[in-house]
Amino acid sequence: MRILWAFADVHERLNSSKWRIVIPSEALKRAGHKVELINMVQFDTGTHHFRPQDFDIVVAERELFRNPERILKWQEHIPVLASFDDAYHLIPESVVTSKVWRHGKVLKEDGEQSPMITEFKKLLRKLDGYITPSELLTSDFLTINPHGHTIPNYPDLSWDCWKAPRREPDGQVKMVWGGSLTHYDSWQYSGIVPALMRIFEEYDNVSLTLITQDLRIRSLFAGIPPNKVRYHKGVEFEEWPRLLAQFDIGLAPLHGEYDRRRSWIKVLEYALMGLLPLVTDVEPYQNTPAQLVRKPKADNWWKGLKIAIDIFPSWAAQVCFDNRLWALAQGIDDHIQEYIDVFNDAIERKQNG
């Protein structure tokens, strides 16, 4: 099969495109398929040398509002699928990209302006299908396009970083969370912050490292001693697993409808690196082996944290070993057929008119 992927992230700072485009494309190459990658700007402007007849299918990531006419021109010849991993229609005002998705406008050929989310939905309706990593997110758009598919984010286990050694126990319990500028509501409203405040008072050997550029999340811990809450500027994508290996418990608080449509990435990463995942009990994490906090309340988070901290030295090794076995079964090469099946379905429907 010949596949053209158009990714949306800036090439120098691949993030979601790494999971949704780069990792599956490399696995497809290993499976014997012809794969080419370009960015969405190249695709939208036509500043590339490819022709529709060079491929069997195109996958365009997220930016369906830039140049829909060009995408539809390609669709006259071969199937075009969309891939996206964010609930743009539910994005909170606290998320910086809400300025694009909630308030951004597209200048149309007739001189009129239209909301970006409106144009996104218009083109999505016309495409040959779409793929997301969340069943709930996929279901949101089935009334617009019935050919929606859910394929989770799968890691490329051939990377050496997933084999980084764990840190040796030293009596300290080190918790960690890392994330982008889309998680402020997750921390502000999940109940985890007051729960952590209690934990820091009760345990001398417990600390939290926040790996984020979001100063709003950092401000929630104002006044907490630096030996309790530490901050890290972050690392490159492939170095992230090695950094995680220096911790014991991985946190993932979520809150609200937007968060319900996230993927399972955090649990997957924590489990692969031998951390104990402690997470909010919502859709992205419910079919994983993570320890779930049932309701987004401070008392529930406090109880969950205490259990994780108190049991960690005694049976964490076995739990983390079992979790890692689950995570190792999620490698992209073992699941690449899911993409192939979706592509074949779109190609067959196109051929049958």
Contact 274, 320 (CB under 8 A): yes
Amino acid 137: pLDDT: 98
| Between residues 111 and 217, the one the model is more confident about | 217
Amino acid 9: pLDDT: 85
Report whether pLDDT(14) > 80: no
Report whether pLDDT(12) > 60: no
Average pLDDT, the chain: 93
Report whether pLDDT(259) > 90: yes
How confident is the model over 9-38, as a mean pLDDT? 89
How confident is the model over 270-296, as a mean pLDDT? 95
Amino acid 11: pLDDT: 59
Report whether pLDDT(186) > 90: yes
Question: Domains of the chain (ranges plus CATH)?
Answer: 2-156+332-351 (3.40.50.2000), 160-328 (3.40.50.2000)
Amino acid 295: pLDDT: 83
Report whether pLDDT(116) > 70: yes
Residues 124 and 300: their CA atoms lie apart, in Å, by: 40
How confident is the model over 15-41, as a mean pLDDT? 95
Q: pLDDT category, 13, cuts 50, 70, 90?
A: low
Report whether pLDDT(262) > 90: yes
Q: Among 232-241, 268-277, 294-303, 307-316, whose mean pLDDT is lowest? A: 307-316
